[in-house]
Amino acid sequence: MSPSQNALDDVIENEQSWRLSASQLAVLVNSGRLSAYSVARQALARLEAVNPAINAVVDYRSDDVLAQAKRIDERLAAGEEVGPLAGVPVTIKINTDQKGYANTNGLMLQKDLIADANNPVVQRLIDAGAILLGRTNTPAFSARLFTNNRLHGHTYNPRNKALTPGGSSGGAASALASGIGALAHGTDIAGSIRYPAFACGVHGLRPTLGRVANFNPSGAERSIGPQLMSVAGPLARSVADLRLALGVMAQPDPRDVWYQPAPLHGTPKPKRAAVCLRPEGLETAPEIQHELHKAADALRASGWVVDEVEELPSLKEPASLQLSLWLADGFEQWAEVAEQEGDVAILKMIDKARGFVDRLPADALSSTLTKRATVIRQWKRFLAQYSLVLLPPAAELALPDQLDLTDPERMSRGLFPMMAIPVLGIPAMTLTTALTDDNTPVGIQLLGDSFREDILLEAGGVIEARAAPVTIAQPEF
C-alpha cells in the first residue's frame, strides 16, 4: 500500500528513500522531485548499515553506483527519457553476467571469471534506467535452499537469523527484505526465486519459460534439462513492483533461443480459481492453510469463483522429473568440479544424488522428456478449466538454516509443490501475506497457464490488498 503524502514527505525529508517502492522511486526521479544521485547515496547508506549483519550483497562498488546515478540525472536534465526504472536501485544475483564483475556462482573456482558483456536481463534493467546497486550471494553452484559458500560466506535471513534466507536467490531476497534495493533480480530452476521470497517475506515471480531473455556469455552452453527449466525473474516488496519489473525484463534478445514475444496481457479469461490446501497429501502447515483460505475469500469478494479442490494434477511426478532433467546429463562432470571446489554441503548433495543417478536408465533423458510432455498436457487441461490455482509453496514455513546438513529428508519431502513448476514451464508466484509472532513469513503460491503472468499479478494484487503489508526488516542480531 502506498504511504500517505505526509509519510512520503517524511521519507524524503529524512533521506530514507530506500523505504519507497520501485514504482514510487521511478515517478519521483522522473519528475525531478528526487535525484537519482540522492537515491543512490541513500541506498548505499542502507546497504552499509545492514549488510554486515546479513551478508546479502557480496560485491558492490560505491563509485560505480554513484556514477550510474549521475549519468541518469544528466540525461534527465538534458530532457531525455530515461525509462520506467529511472533511478531505481536493483540488485543482481551473482550467477548472472554483469560487465566488469565476476560471475562467481558462489564458487572459488570462478572468482576471476569476469564478464565482458551483460546478460540480457542486466542490459534491460540498465536500458530502463535502473541503478545496479550490488551483486547478491548464492550457494555454491546456485544449488541449495540455503545460502552459504566458501568464497562469499553465509547469508542470513533478516527477519529471523535461525531461518534460512532460502536459495539460491537467498542474497537477493535477504537484501530486498532489508531495504537494500527496491527490486531484486533472481533465477529459478527449482524454486530459487519463489522459495527465498517465501522465506524472507517478500514476493517472487517465476515467469514462463521464454518470457524473459536470459543468457550468460561467460559460460558454456547448458545441457537441455537446465535450459528447459531455468528462468530469470524479479523479487519485490509489492505486486505493482513485480509487474513493473517484469515489463522491463520481458524484452527480446537473440542470444536466448527460448525467448517468445508473447504479449504481457492476454485475452480475458473467466475469473475462476482452484484452491488446494493439501495437494497429494502434503502436510501443509496450519498457517499456510489459513492464508490460502483468506486469499480465496479475497478473490471471491472481488468477483472470482473459487473452488476448493481436494486434488490437482500431479505435482510429485513433475518434481521427480525435475531431478532427472537436472541430473541425467552432465552429473559426473558436475561432481568432478564440486570435488575441486570442496564445498561440504554440495559434496553431501552429490553423494546423496549419486544413488538416484545410478538408478537412472540409459534412456533417462529421452524418457523424462516424454513423461514431461504427458504431465504438461494434464496441467494444460486443468488450466483450461481454471485460470488460477492457489496452493502451498511448501509444507512448512521457512526451514531452519542449514537443515540440509542435518536432516535432508525433512528438507526435501515438502518441497514438491515448488520443484514441480519448472518442469511444467508455467508461471508461478509466491506472495507473502503475514508474519508470525516470531517473525517467520507466511505466504502462498499462485500458478497459471503459460504466458499468463498478467492473471497472477491481477489476482496477487487483490490478495495483497487484504493481507498484511510487506514490511522492511531491521536485522537485530
Please tell me which residue in 23, 35, 142, 168 is annotated as part of the active site: 168
- Residues forming beta bridges with residue 336, ordered by sequence position: none
Residue with cell 478473490: 299
Cross-strand bridge partners of residue 206: 428
Cis peptide bond upstream of 174, omega within 30: no
- For cell 537412472, the residue is 360
Q: Confirm if 29 and 35 have CB atoms less than 8 A apart.
A: yes
Find the catalytic residue in 21, 35, 93, 230.
93
Q: Position 198: which residue type? A: F
Q: Which residues pair with 173 in a beta bridge?
A: none
**H-helix segments, 182-330:** 194-200, 224-229, 239-249, 286-301, 316-327
* Coil vs helix vs strand at 149: strand
Helix residue spans in 154-223 (DSSP H): 170-177, 194-200
Select from 424, 426, 416 the least CA-distant residue to 284: 416
DSSP string, 381-434: HHHHH-SEEEE-S-SSSSPBTTGGGT-HHHHHHT-HHHHTHHHHT--EEEEEEE
- Three-state secondary structure call for residue 294: helix
Annotated catalytic residue within 142, 192, 320, 324:
192
To which residue does cell 515489463 refer?
Answer: 247
| Cα 6 to Cα 403: distance, rounded to the nearest angstrom | 44
Contacts of 297 (CB under 8 A, 6+ apart): 466
Is residue 93 part of the annotated active site? The answer reads yes
Residue closest to 423 by CA, chosen among 388, 374, 458, 358: 374
- Axis-axis angle for helices 239-249, 453-465 (nearest 10): 160
Radius of gyration of the chain, Cα coordinates, nearest whole angstrom: 21
212 phi and psi, to 5 degrees? -115, 120
Does 218 qualify as catalytic in the annotation?
no
Report how far residue 438's alpha carbon sits from residue 131's, in angstroms, rounded to the nearest whole number.
Answer: 34
Residues 6+ apart with CB under 8 A from 22: 85, 88, 90, 182, 183, 236, 241, 244, 245
What is the C-alpha to C-alpha distance for residues 270 and 288, in angstroms, rounded to an integer?
A: 26
> Rounded distance, CA 52 to CA 43, Å?
15
Q: Which strand (E) or helix (H) includes residue 333?
A: helix 331-341
Task: Assign 4 to helix, strand or coil.
Answer: coil
Identify whether 35 is a catalytic site residue.
Answer: no
Which residues are catalytically annotated? 93, 168, 192
